[in-house]
Structure 1
Amino acid sequence: MKILHIETSSKNCSVAISEDMKILCLCEQVSENYKQSESLHTYVQWALEGADISLQDLNAISLGKGPGSYTGLRIGASAAKGFCYGLNIPLIAVESIETLVQPFIDKGYDFIIPLLDARRMEVYTAVFDGKTGERNSATEAMILDEFSFQEFADKKVLFVGDGAKKVQVIVGLSFADFNDTIYPSAKFLVEKAAQKFSEKDFEDVAYFEPFYLKDFQGIKKKDKIKKGED
C-alpha cells in the first residue's frame, strides 16, 4: 500500500510518500509567502524520487482537506483530484486539524486543542481527548476573547498549532502549555490515511470539495478602487 500524502492548508507546503505505516520520503517547507502554487508539484516529484517509486506505483492519494488557507486548499485539492483521475486511484481526505493532535496523544494531557490561525481574532479549533485522541467537539471558527477556553482551567491542556500564540496573548491561560511551531504536515496524515484505506473510506473524486468551514472573503474590485481613490 503506497500512498502520496498532500497537505497545503497552512504555511507548510508538505508532501510525503508512505508504504503501509512507514514514511519513505517527506518534502516540506514552511513559508510566510504560502508557496504551494510554485512548490507543490516539485515536492511531489522530489518525494517520488526520494522514495524511488513512480506515480504508477501509487495505490491512493491522501489529502489534508482543511480548514485553513482557502487558496492553499484549492491548490492541494486540485492536484490530488488530478492524480486520482489520471491514475484511476482513490482519494482519501483527512481533516487537517486532526493531524495536529497525533504527536501529542497520551503525553500526559487531559485535552489537546489544535488551533489554526484564521486571521484577525479568529482561529479554527476543536477539542480532543489527550489520552485517546478521540474528538470531543466539532471543528469551529472561534473569535477569541478573554473568556475563551476558561472551562478548562482545572485541566492539563495543550494548545497546539500556529494559532496557539494568539490564544496565549489574548486569553492568557497560565494553566496551559502552548506549542505554536507545529503545522499540519503530510507526515501526520499517514496513520489515518492507512486506516481509511483499509476501511475503503474513500471520497467521491468528482464531487469532493475541501473543508473550508467558512466562505472565502476577498476584496471586491470596487473596494480596491475606492481604497485607491482614498
Structure 2
Amino acid sequence: MTILAIDTSNYTLGIALLNEETVIGEYITNVKVNHSVRAMPAIEALMKDCSISPKQLTKIVVAKGPGSYTGVRIGVTIAKTLAWSLNIPIVGISSLEILTASVGRYFTGYISPLFDARRGQIYTGLYQYQNGDLQTIYKDQNVLTINWIDTLKSLDKPILFVGNDLPIHREVIERELGEKALFAEITEHNPRPSELGLLGKTRPTEEIHSFVPNYIRLAEAEVKWMEANQIEETK
C-alpha cells in the first residue's frame, strides 16, 4: 500500500507519502499563497524525491474541510482527479480531525482544534483519544467562540486547543476557561499530512463522483444569493 495524502484546506499546504510501516516523505508549508498554483508541483516534487511513480499509488486521502472554501475545493478536486485517472480509492478526512491527530495522541484530556471562521466564529469540534483510538465527542461545527466556550465549561477534564488561528481567540478562551484551557505550541499548529494519511489508511472509501467537500456552512456569496432569490420569490 502506498498512500498519497493531500491537505490544502487552510493556509497550510501538506503533502505526504506513506506505506504500511513508513512515512516515505512529507512536505509542509504555511504561507498565504494560492494552493492552486503550488499543490500539484508539490505533489510531483515529493513523488520524484521519493522515487514513487503514480502507478505505485494505491489510495488517495484528502482533507475534506472545513476550512477555506477555495482551499478545500482545490484539494478535493485534485484528489478526485488523481483517484479517477489512476482508478484507485479515495478517502476524505475532517480537516479538524487531522489537526487533532497531529497533537493529541498522548494527551488524556479533550482536544479542541479550531480554524477561524470570522465574525467571532470558529470551525471546531471536540475529540479525545480512548485506548489509542480517536473518538468524536462533539461533531465538527461552525459556532460562535463564546458559545463554544460555554459548552466546554461543564467538562471534567482539561481541554487542549490547537490551530494556527488560535491567537485570534486565545484571550477569550483563557479568560473564560482559566486553568482548564491548555494551548499547543506553535510547532504543533500545522496539521501533519502524514497523520492525514494514517487516519485514512483504514477508513471507508468515498464514491469518487459523489464525493464533495464538507464546508459546514455556505459561502457568504451563496447565502446572499439564496436570500436574494427567496425575496424575489415572495414578491
- TM over 0.5, shorter chain: yes
Local SS of the residue matching 1:203:
coil
Aligned to 1:207: 210
Shift of 1:129: 1.9
Q: Report the Cα distance in structure 2 between the residues aligned to 1:207 and 1:216, rounded to whole angstroms.
A: 20
Task: Confirm or deny that 1:139 pairs with 2:111.
Answer: no
Indicate whether 1:155 and 2:160 are aligned. Answer: no
Which has a greater percent of helix? 2
Give the drift of 1:26. Answer: 1.0
Structure-1 residue corresponding to 2:86: 87
Give the corresponding residue for 1:179. 184
- Native 8 Å contact 1:162 1:180 kept in 2: no
**Could you tell which deviates more after superposition, 114-123 or 158-167?**
158-167
Q: Does structure 1 retain, via aligned residues, the 8 Å contact 2:102–2:192?
A: no
1:33-112 → structure 2 map (5 Å cutoff): 33-105=32-104, 107-112=106-111
Q: Distance in 1 between matches of 2:108 and 2:194?
A: 22
What RMSD, in angstroms, separates the aligned Cα atoms of the two structures? 2.2
Give the 3-state SS of the residue equivalent to 1:72 in structure 2: helix
- Distance in 1 (alpha carbons) for counterparts of 2:10 and 2:191: 7
Determine if contact 1:10/1:183 at 8 Å carries over to the other structure. Answer: no
Identical columns (%): 26
Q: CA deviation at 1:162?
A: 2.4
SS at match of 1:114: strand
Question: Does structure 2 retain, via aligned residues, the 8 Å contact 1:9–1:66?
Answer: yes
1:193 maps to: 200
Cα distance, 1:35 vs structure 2: 2.7
Secondary structure in structure 2 of the residue aligned to 1:137 = strand
**Amino acid of the structure 1 residue aligned with 2:202:** Q
CA distance in 2, matches of 1:20, 1:3: 9
Maintained 8 Å contact 1:10/1:68: yes
Structure 2 unmatched ranges of 5 or more: 226-235
More strand by share: 2
Question: Which consecutive segments of 4 or more residues in structure 1 shift more than 6 A?
Answer: none
Q: 1:141 to 1:180 in 2, by over 3 A?
A: farther
Residue 97 of structure 2 aligns to a residue whose secondary structure is helix
CA distance 1:79–1:149, shift in 2 (3 Å) = same
Distance 1:99 1:21, change over 3 A: farther
State the TM-score, normalizing by the size of structure 1. 0.85
